[in-house]
Amino acid sequence: MKIVLIGGVKVGHDIVRQLTREGHDIIVIDSQSSVVEEINNSLDLMAICGNGANLDVLKEADAAHADLLIACTAQDELNILCCIFGRKLGCANTIARVRSPEYAEQMYYIKDELGLSMTINPELNAAREMFSILGIPGVLRRDSFPQSRVEIVEINAKEGSVLDGLKLPDFNKKLHCKALVCAIRRGNEVIVPDGSVEIKAGDKLSVCARATEIVKMLNASGLKLKKAKNIMIIGGSVVADYLTYLLVKAGARVKVIERNANKAAQFAARYPDVEVICADGSNEEVLKNEHADQMDAVATLTDIDEENLILSMYLSHEGVPQVITKVNRSEYGSLLADKGVSRLVCPKKLCADTIVAYVRAMQNTGDSSVLTLHHLVDGRIDALEFNVTSSCRHLGKMLKDIKFKPNILIACINRMGKAIIPGGFDSFEEGDTVIVINSSDRVILDLNDIFVSEG
């Protein structure tokens, strides 16, 4: 596919990296000559220096013949304008990054009235991710599959816990649940497990199950924490604004610490039921005075990664049950996982994942195309949700008799609302939805792509 991307830094760089890896033809437009020079020198694609809302620049990028235009500059209004002009030139599909809370309630109007294919809000997506994690205390990450009505959560196998030394065939019996371990992160190694794998202390397990089964699993494994009702947010960032809104709506008691007096005043005016403290949230004395160690959860949401990470390590050391950390550079996670920084949320990565899923859906508009896509284990594993249609090559055949491509795992089959953790004697039936686990270096666009070719 031919894709024009406007805005080559921050969010744009992650999108470029993922889409070029999947073989798309990318043209980048950026107003900064240094960014354009860096892209031209380091990536195998074309970059143009200019204003993406300028018709001459869009014509130079041949936007009229592009399959998709993505505008992700730092300015919402500029992104919307770029998409309008792209549509005017003939580009049928456009995506605008719109991140301001002021536009959040108008998003449907903006999308429909201006003819945008999709609007995306990295900060709102990050806040929803954090809110979702807080909804099931004890998990490190939580991804939902709406059609199949199941979730994949990441949990930590702690030393001396029930999970330590547990063999996978005994997992459900020991933990009194119906679930499937679909990926294991062991140090720098990623394992798509079979029945011979034994869980070791320090492993991060990606587990697929219904929410009720996940709660059973957490209770039996000793990982279940009490539901977070008292939550502290450090930093009055855009993500903090969205998360505060979601938490207040859910009835949580929220305390926000923000060092900037103007931001603190705006927060207090916007959320009269929230306790807003104008102070330096990175100061140890401030945290002690505000009883951070007595909170059910703390989210570090300043605009500085290093500050968020150091704060999270300190708060974890002080015994806060749940600490959620916002970062712009997701590679920090693997470096600091053993230092108490385990619940990382990266807005720009979530944004890139959403756009990649949209592009994959564009590539295959058939009945068995990708419904949902989540990247697991730092993007090294894909979890994909498909409809099973009459075009599926192995309808009714037992899974044990089907030849799958290497490192393919069927995590769940949903049949008429019933989630099935599959075994060898289960099968695909028309009308099912299925979740497939696949190595991310192989692109799967259609359910039939997971089978070994016949003949």
- Can you tell me the distance from the alpha carbon of 135 to that of 129, in angstroms, rounded to the nearest whole number? 10
- Can you tell me the distance from the alpha carbon of 374 to that of 353, in angstroms, rounded to the nearest whole number? 7
- Can you tell me the distance from the alpha carbon of 100 to that of 47, in angstroms, rounded to the nearest whole number? 27
| pLDDT at 77 (0 to 100) | 92
Task: List Cα–Cα distances, 228 to 142, 215, 294, in angstroms.
Answer: 16, 15, 11
| pLDDT at 19 (0 to 100) | 85
| pLDDT at 366 (0 to 100) | 56
- Summarize the confidence of residues 350-356 as an average pLDDT: 84
- Summarize the confidence of residues 379-398 as an average pLDDT: 91
% residues pLDDT > 90 (the chain) = 60
- Summarize the confidence of residues 182-209 as an average pLDDT: 90
Does the pLDDT of residue 367 top 60, yes or no? no
The two beta strands, 343-345 and 230-234, are unpaired
Predicted confidence band at 188 (pLDDT cuts at 50, 70, 90)? confident
Can you say whether the dihedral through the CA atoms of 445, 446, 452, 454 is positive or negative? negative
| pLDDT at 195 (0 to 100) | 79
Predicted confidence band at 196 (pLDDT cuts at 50, 70, 90)? confident
| Domain assignments of the chain as residue spans, ordered by start | 2-120, 139-221, 230-320, 355-450
355-450: CATH number: 3.30.70.1450
- Summarize the confidence of residues 213-224 as an average pLDDT: 89
Can you say whether the dihedral through the CA atoms of 44, 48, 49, 52 is positive or negative? negative
Q: What is the reported pTM?
A: 0.84
In sequence order, what are the residues at sequence separation of 6 or more whose Cβ sits closer than 8 angstroms to the Cβ of residue 288? none
Q: Residue 281: name the closest of 263, 269, 296 by CA.
A: 263
Q: Lowest mean pLDDT: which of 5-19, 85-99, 218-232, 417-431?
A: 5-19
Predicted confidence band at 80 (pLDDT cuts at 50, 70, 90)? very high
- Summarize the confidence of residues 210-216 as an average pLDDT: 92
- Summarize the confidence of residues 13-21 as an average pLDDT: 80
Side-chain half-sphere CA neighbours of 350 within 13 A: 23
Q: Lowest mean pLDDT: which of 206-210, 333-337, 391-395, 439-443?
A: 333-337
Render pLDDT for 135-164 as a digit per residue (tens, 0 to 9): 888 898 899 988 888 999 999 998 889 999
| pLDDT at 124 (0 to 100) | 92
The two beta strands, 433-439 and 409-415, are antiparallel
Render pLDDT for 299-331 as a digit per residue (tens, 0 to 9): 999 999 999 999 999 999 999 999 999 998 766
What single string gives the DSSP state of each residue in 183-219? EEEETTEEE---TT-B--TT-EEEEEE-HHHHHHHHH
| pLDDT at 332 (0 to 100) | 62
In sequence order, what are the residues at sequence separation of 6 or more whose Cβ sits closer than 8 angstroms to the Cβ of residue 402? 394, 451
- Can you tell me the distance from the alpha carbon of 267 to that of 258, in angstroms, rounded to the nearest whole number? 9
% residues pLDDT > 70 (the chain) = 94
- Are residues 276 and 248 in contact, defined by beta-carbon separation less than 8 angstroms? no
100, with CB counted inside 10 A (0-12, 13-18, 19+), is: middle
Question: Radius of gyration (Cα) for the chain, nearest Å?
Answer: 23
Fold of the domain built from segment(s) 139-221: Alpha-Beta Plaits (3.30.70)
Highest mean pLDDT among 48-52, 331-335, 359-363: 48-52
400, with CB counted inside 10 A (0-12, 13-18, 19+), is: exposed
Chosen CATH of 2-120 out of 3.40.640.10, 3.40.50.300, 3.40.50.150, 3.40.50.720: 3.40.50.720
Tokens of 332: 């920090």
Does the pLDDT of residue 337 top 60, yes or no? no
- Summarize the confidence of residues 241-247 as an average pLDDT: 95
Tokens of 181: 């371990």
Q: Residue 43: name the closest of 18, 74, 63 by CA.
A: 18
| pLDDT at 8 (0 to 100) | 66
The domains spanning 2-120 and 355-450 adopt the same CATH topology:
no
- Mean pLDDT score of the chain: 88
Reading phi first (left if > 0) and then psi (alpha if -120 to 50, else beta), residue 227 is in beta
Render pLDDT for 26-77 as a digit per residue (tens, 0 to 9): 999 999 888 888 887 877 788 899 999 999 999 999 999 999 999 999 899 9
- Summarize the confidence of residues 256-284 as an average pLDDT: 95
| pLDDT at 241 (0 to 100) | 94
Does the pLDDT of residue 88 top 80, yes or no? yes
- Summarize the confidence of residues 216-239 as an average pLDDT: 90
Q: Per the CATH hierarchy, to which homologous superfamily does domain 230-320 belong?
A: NAD(P)-binding Rossmann-like Domain (3.40.50.720)
